[in-house]
């Protein structure tokens, strides 16, 4: 027995020593550094490299690539020429044609199959960076919840945020928050900073305390890649598309609502339910608004991939919408029920911009009441975080 204990201790000591050794193996490089003037410096130790660059979403339109300059000590650096505005930024390094996350930095996010380093710029307590940061406010809890979907015939997983004070007995309204193509139940909580946004808005009294449900919108995938029985496959927006599902995600959506109502302290009324989503999730929101017009009072379409049918890949045109009897009947039932908010938001450089023009043309022709928000930018998370921050403040008041 003593010999076994000694052996285990030796292994543990060796592992700890290896971890400590790794600390000393890292070159003394800090990156990124937010400078006093608001510029940002990226650095990487690559003494044998011939070409090094950084690719970052420096603006709201597109990713940009900038060359780093080699210093005498083998460290390559690049400093932005102007201060960066408050925002959450994603970036990666490229060393002689090989894309890598910043080896001097610990914070990364996964978007489908791509890992990127992230950092936040914040200058004051009401800018975007502030709402995306973890601040000293009461914090809600986040759970990864498995449930059975009778419509799809599978066990599925979703992310559920409950606000600070949830355990004190009252009931709460619910926001259902849907991801885009290639995403999963982790997308909004990780890339979208939902937890930080909700904690900060609620703490400042700008949003009503609410439950936020972030389901997996892929009917042939039970959970995020690597977190269900299919194993560690390469994340792919088209994973298992050809497998076939018993129903579309919108057709199975009430399984989620029923589970939440049966297992959480919800206010089980239309006026206490909202649904919004980005891209594919925006298309799902359009379908959900038609299939269950009196179940939800608030709808938000963010950069939506709108479709006449529940399958978001079918596309949308004004002519097809006007000619489709089922679509017209469903939309009439929805707007006759007087939803509290039907909100459309999109960037003016988004590739789905025309799709949303067609939807608004239909709504205008029918004189259906909706609100519209347009800003700069494309099909990017930095826009969807803005839209969530705006939409959450409109709910349940």
Q: What is the pLDDT of residues 267-314, one digit of tens each?
A: 999 999 999 999 999 999 999 999 999 999 999 999 999 998 766 566
* Phi (first) and psi of residue 160, to 5 degrees: -125, 125
pLDDT attached to residue 4: 43
Q: Are 388 and 177 in contact (CB under 8 A)?
A: yes
- Enter the tokens of residue 295: 């179940």
> Could you give the angle at the alpha carbon of 225 between the alpha carbons of 221 and 228, nearest 5°?
65
CA distance 355 to 349: 12
CA distance 234 to 110: 12
User: pTM above the 0.85 mark?
Assistant: yes
Among candidate residues 266, 334, 351, 254, the one with its CA nearest the CA of residue 299 = 334
pLDDT attached to residue 113: 87
- The distance of Cα 339 from the centroid of its chain, to the nearest Å, equals 25
Question: Given the DSSP bridges, would you call strands 33-34 and 114-121 parallel, antiparallel or unpaired?
Answer: unpaired
pLDDT attached to residue 222: 94
- The distance of Cα 37 from the centroid of its chain, to the nearest Å, equals 30
- Enter the tokens of residue 77: 């650096």
Question: Given the DSSP bridges, would you call strands 174-178 and 211-215 parallel, antiparallel or unpaired?
Answer: parallel
Give the residues of the chain that fall short of pLDDT 70: 1-27, 60-61, 310-314
Partners of 277 in beta bridges: 178, 301
Beta strands in 279-352 (DSSP E): 298-302, 341-347
Among candidate residues 134, 256, 136, the one with its CA nearest the CA of residue 195 = 134
Q: Which H/E stretch holds residue 275?
A: strand 273-278
* Phi (first) and psi of residue 54, to 5 degrees: -125, 135
Q: Work out the burial of residue 349: count CB atoms within 10 Å of its CB; fewer than 13 is exposed, 13-18 middle, 19 or more buried.
A: middle
């Amino acid at each position: 027995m003593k010999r076994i204990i000694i052996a285990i201790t030796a292994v543990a000591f060796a592992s700890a020593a290896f971890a400590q050794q790794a600390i000393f193996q890292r070159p003394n490089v800090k990156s990124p550094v937010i400078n006093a003037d608001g510029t940002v410096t990226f650095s990487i130790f690559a003494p044998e490299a011939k070409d090094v660059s950084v690719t970052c979403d420096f603006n709201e339109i597109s990713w940009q690539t900038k060359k780093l300059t080699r210093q005498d000590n083998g460290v390559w650096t690049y400093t932005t020429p102007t201060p960066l505005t408050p925002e959450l930024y994603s970036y990666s390094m490229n060393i002689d044609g090989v894309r890598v996350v910043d080896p001097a930095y610990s914070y990364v996010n996964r978007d489908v199959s791509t890992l990127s380093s992230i950092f936040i710029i914040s200058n004051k307590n009401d800018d975007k960076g502030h709402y995306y940061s973890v601040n000293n406010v009461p914090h809600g809890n986040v759970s990864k919840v498995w449930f059975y979907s009778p419509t799809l015939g599978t066990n599925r997983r979703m992310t559920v945020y409950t606000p600070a004070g949830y355990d004190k007995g009252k009931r709460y309204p619910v926001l259902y928050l849907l991801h885009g193509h290639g995403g999963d139940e982790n997308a909004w909580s990780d890339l979208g900073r939902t937890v930080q946004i909700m904690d900060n808005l609620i703490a400042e009294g700008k949003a009503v305390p609410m439950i936020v449900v972030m389901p997996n919108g892929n009917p042939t995938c039970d959970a995020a890649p690597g977190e269900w029985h299919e194993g560690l496959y390469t994340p792919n927006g088209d994973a298992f598309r050809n497998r076939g599902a018993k129903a579309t995600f919108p057709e199975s959506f009430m399984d989620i609502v029923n589970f939440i109502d049966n297992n959480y302290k919800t206010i089980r009324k239309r006026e206490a339910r909202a649904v919004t989503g980005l891209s594919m999730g925006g298309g799902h929101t359009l379908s959900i608004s038609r299939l269950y017009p009196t179940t939800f009072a608030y709808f938000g379409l963010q950069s939506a991939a709108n479709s006449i049918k529940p399958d978001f890949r079918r596309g949308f045109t004004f002519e097809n919408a006007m000619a489709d009897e089922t679509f017209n009947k469903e939309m009439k039932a929805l707007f006759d029920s007087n939803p509290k908010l039907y909100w459309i938001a999109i960037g003016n450089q988004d590739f789905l911009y025309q799709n949303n023009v067609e939807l608004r043309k239909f709504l205008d022709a029918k004189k259906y009441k909706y609100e519209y928000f347009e800003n700069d930018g494309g099909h990017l998370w930095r826009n969807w975080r803005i839209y969530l921050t705006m939409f959450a403040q409109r709910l349940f008041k």
